[in-house]
Amino acid sequence: MHFIVVAALVLLAALLTACSRQPADAPDVARPDFRVIEHYEVGAGVYVRALAVDASSRTLWVGTSLGLQHIDLGSFEAIGTYTRRNGLANEYVFATLVDSRGNTWAGTNGGGLSRLRDGEWQTWFPMHGVADYWVYSLAESDPGTIWIGTWAGANRFDVESGSFETYHDELVNEWVYGLDVDSQGRVWFGTEGGVSMFDGEQWREWTHDDGVGAPNTAGLPPSVNTGLGTRSRHDLSVTVEGGPSYNPDYVFCIHVAADDAVWAGTWGGGAARYDGERWHNFTSASGLAGDIVFAIAEDAEGALWFGTEQGVSRWDGRTWQRFGIEDGIPGQAVYALAVTPDGEVWAGTKGGVARIGRADQSLTD
């Protein structure tokens, strides 16, 4: 059965059961090397907030506001959907991770941390040591060590011993939305107040004053909404009176590239790249689709992909390519990205998921 049809059926069942070098000022626009091959809808009000690829099984995990879906990347058929009825403490999945041992982790909105191992789910709450019920980011530093970003600090979880170590005051801000680990084992945190880094002994931090996020040359209004950062407001709004806003200390995502450069996706300040000495900012004036960057991924060729409030951008170090609603992206804002072993890129929005591949790729490739 065609992937779109299968995915739509799985969603119906679920509904029923519950951001090298800085570019020149004038951006180069790439020839159309990639295109949106297809997409499937997940419901008009359903958010896709997390995507993770399991390379060993060639499957894709899709974290939505109605549960966690599992897709076979060979057949593009849905393997299963997980909700409260079969193991999750909350259907709203904001983070997902496939660890080096093949276990699947889900960070949820108010339902703590869950892990799927050998077909069984296990969940951890604050009573077990997780810093908060709201888990928004996940990363693995080495086999058996999981880092957890929450709305009340971060945890280092030793899976074997079951022990949690919590970091709160050490962070530049306690609201942690992005996590990644570099080749030296240093852990990077994207927070509502800037970027933090922990090398195992010492902490460092960077804010907009240190260069994270571009200046507000467009004169955008500052946002009084903390976006994802309040327990009483979950509208994910990044607008002021219907237009774009600016809050560059707010870092939605962190990605450590293959060259160990650290990328941070900011609110209104574009994508910031740290080369070990200073931050370089990339904005819509550079070629980025939008200046609010929710997600960053990297493909096998070293190209960077950015999920923004105005679609998806690909940057190969020289040229940019953009994908928007007019190209087949199912929603304007792109909250999650994942790259498959075949080099395809999946993009999650409010309302659906898009599959992006080479321009000469057929639907069945």
The domain that holds 177 is classified in CATH as 2.130.10.10
Kindly give the pairing relationship between strand 93-98 and strand 113-117: unpaired
Considering the domain boundaries, does residue 140 fall inside one? yes
In angstroms, the Cα distances linking 131 to 141, 156, 206 are 18, 10, 23
Q: How many domains does the chain have?
A: 1
CA 324, CA 289: separation in Å to the nearest integer? 8
Domain range for 14 is 3-358
The Cα–Cα gap between 123 and 116 comes to: 9
Comparing CA positions, the residue from 104, 93, 137 lying closest to residue 255 is: 137
Pairwise CA distance, residues 298 & 314, whole Å: 9
Please tell me the distance from the alpha carbon of residue 50 to that of residue 64, in angstroms, as a whole number. 7
Q: Which amino acid is at 133?
A: Y
Measuring CA to CA, which residue among 161, 58, 69, 79 is closest to residue 106?
A: 69
Is 365 part of any domain?
no
Q: Which of 81, 93, 79, 3 is nearest to 40 (CA)?
A: 3
The tokens describing 287, both together, are: 């070629």
Q: Please give the Cα distance from 68 to 208 (Å, whole number).
A: 35
In 42-175, the DSSP E strands lie at 48-54, 59-64, 67-72, 78-82, 93-98, 104-108, 113-117, 120-124, 135-142, 145-150, 153-158, 163-167
What pTM, to 2 d.p., does this model score? 0.89
Of 102, 129, 128, which Cα lies nearest the Cα of 116?
102
Phi-psi region of 60 (alpha: psi -120 to 50; beta: other; left: phi over 0): beta
Q: Can you tell me the distance from the alpha carbon of 265 to that of 313, in angstroms, rounded to the nearest whole number? A: 13
Closest CA to 211 of 264, 255, 133, 172: 264
Q: Which residues of the chain have pLDDT under 70?
A: 1-32, 224-236, 361-365
Question: What is the DSSP-derived secondary structure letter of residue 175?
Answer: -
**C-beta separation of 264 from 178 below 8 A:** yes
Residue 364 inside a domain? The answer is: no
| 8 Å CB contact between 321 and 36 | no
Of 122, 130, 162, nearest to 149 by C-alpha is 130
Report yes or no: 265 and 251 within 8 Å, Cβ to Cβ: yes
Cβ of 59: how many Cβ atoms within 10 Å? 18
Q: Does the residue 107 lie in any domain?
A: yes
Residue 363 in any domain: the answer is no
C-alpha 21, offset from chain centre: 23
Q: Residue 198: exposed, middle, or buried by beta-carbon count in 10 A (0-12, 13-18, 19+)?
A: buried
- Neighbouring C-beta atoms of residue 290, cutoff 10 Å: 25
